[in-house]
């Protein structure tokens, strides 16, 4: 798929979302691939799956445009986490914390890394900093097919779930099944999808009240273990 086709398919999908009658549409928050051409040409293709955007007003927003600007504003520290994780996963060699700590604080670093990714919220409406789980589960059940189609549109090699792996397994991609779950030596949950060369990794939400260095090093260690375990899958991404 070329960049223009990807963008057209995204917009058609978002139109379906807005037309879903089972949802009260207080606002609409678009998400997805930040820069289509860069995403398509990045190996591995990386998708982050989060819960909902922290936007409580009733206006429409577009996370893609926000990330393309380097995620400015009061929440920029949280987005540094995504930028660091992206650099670690999309770089062939090991990237120690010292190489991304200070650099991730700059807009240019974040802009460069965000161009590589797809960022998908399950719920396409704003929420508060505290998740209403009953509302999120109801929304996921209604929109599971649309979320699945969005993921399939981007055809990612790696999905990093930000506290959403159980929603992915139970509602969005139930055919992945729990029997394929694995744990890294440092207790990061991950599994390969059964029907495509894609790996799912579970991490805390990027805005979790955890030390950024600790989360980064936990991901890097687990990712290296996964690469060693599934070498043929990683090699197939380059073909």
Give CA–CA dist 124/150, Å, rounded. Answer: 12
Those residues with Cβ within 8 angstroms of residue 171's Cβ, 6 or more apart along the chain or in another chain? 140, 141, 144
For the domain that residue 197 is a member of, what is the CATH number?
Answer: 3.40.470
> What Cα–Cα distance (Å) separates residue 222 from each residue in 14, 116, 163, 191, 200?
34, 21, 16, 12, 12
Q: Is the pLDDT of residue 110 over 80?
A: yes
Please say if the pLDDT value at position 177 is more than 70: no
CA–CA dist 234, 193 (Å, integer): 13
| DSSP H or E segment with residue 215 | helix 212-229
Indicate whether 96 pLDDT > 80: yes
pTM higher than 0.85 for the full model? yes
Neighbours of 219 (CB within 10 A): 22
pLDDT of residue 68: 95
Domain of residue 42 covers 3-18+26-236
In sequence order, what are the residues at sequence separation of 6 or more whose Cβ sits closer than 8 angstroms to the Cβ of residue 143? 17, 20, 23, 122, 123, 124
Closest by CA position to 206, among listed 49, 35, 42: 49
Q: Give dist(CA 239, CA 235) in Å, integer.
A: 7
Q: What is the dihedral of CA 128, 131, 137, 143, to 10 degrees?
A: 30
Q: What is the pLDDT of residues 199-218, one digit of tens each?
A: 999 998 887 777 889 999 99
Q: Which of 16, 81, 22, 28 is CA-nearest to residue 53?
A: 28
Phi, psi values for residue 206, rounded to 5°? -65, -15
Please write the tens of the pLDDT for every residue from 136-153. Answer: 899 899 999 999 999 999
Residues 61-83: tens digit of each pLDDT: 899 999 999 988 766 678 899 99
Number of domain units in the chain: 1
Do the bridges between strand 46-53 and strand 117-126 make them parallel or antiparallel, or are there none, so unpaired? parallel
Positive or negative, the CA dihedral 45, 49, 55, 57 is: positive
Which strand (E) or helix (H) includes residue 48? strand 46-53
Residues near 153 by beta carbon (within 8 Å), at least 6 away in sequence: 6, 9, 10, 13
Helix (H) or strand (E) holding 4, with range, is helix 3-18
Q: Is the dihedral of CA 44, 49, 53, 58 positive or negative?
A: positive
Nearest in space to 169 (alpha carbons), one of 142, 193, 139? 193
In this model, does residue 160 exceed pLDDT 80?
A: yes
pLDDT score recorded for residue 239: 61
Band (pLDDT 50/70/90 cuts) for residue 182 is: confident
Looking at residue 132, its pLDDT comes to 82
Residue predicted with more confidence, 76 or 95: 95
């Amino acid at each position: 798929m070329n960049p223009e086709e990807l963008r057209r398919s995204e917009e058609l999908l978002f139109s379906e979302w807005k037309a879903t009658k089972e949802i009260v549409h207080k606002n609409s928050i678009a998400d997805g691939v930040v820069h289509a051409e860069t995403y398509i040409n990045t190996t591995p293709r990386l998708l982050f799956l989060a819960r909902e955007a922290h936007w409580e007003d009733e206006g429409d927003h577009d996370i893609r445009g926000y990330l393309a600007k380097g995620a400015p504003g009061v929440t920029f520290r949280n987005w540094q986490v995504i930028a660091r994780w992206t650099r670690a996963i999309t770089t062939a060699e090991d990237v120690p914390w010292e190489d991304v700590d200070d650099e991730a604080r700059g807009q240019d670093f974040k802009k460069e890394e965000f161009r590589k990714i797809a960022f998908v919220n399950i719920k396409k409406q704003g929420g508060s900093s505290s998740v209403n789980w009953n509302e999120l589960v109801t929304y996921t059940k209604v929109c599971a097919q649309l979320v699945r189609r969005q993921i399939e549109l981007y055809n990612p090699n790696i999905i990093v779930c930000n506290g959403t792996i159980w929603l992915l397994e139970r509602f969005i991609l139930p055919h992945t099944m729990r029997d394929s779950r694995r744990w890294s030596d440092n207790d990061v949950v991950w599994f390969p999808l059964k029907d495509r060369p894609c790996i799912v990794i579970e991490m805390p939400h990027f805005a979790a009240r955890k030390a950024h260095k600790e989360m980064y090093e936990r991901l890097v260690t687990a990712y290296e273990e996964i690469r060693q375990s599934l070498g043929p899958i990683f090699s197939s991404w380059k073909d």
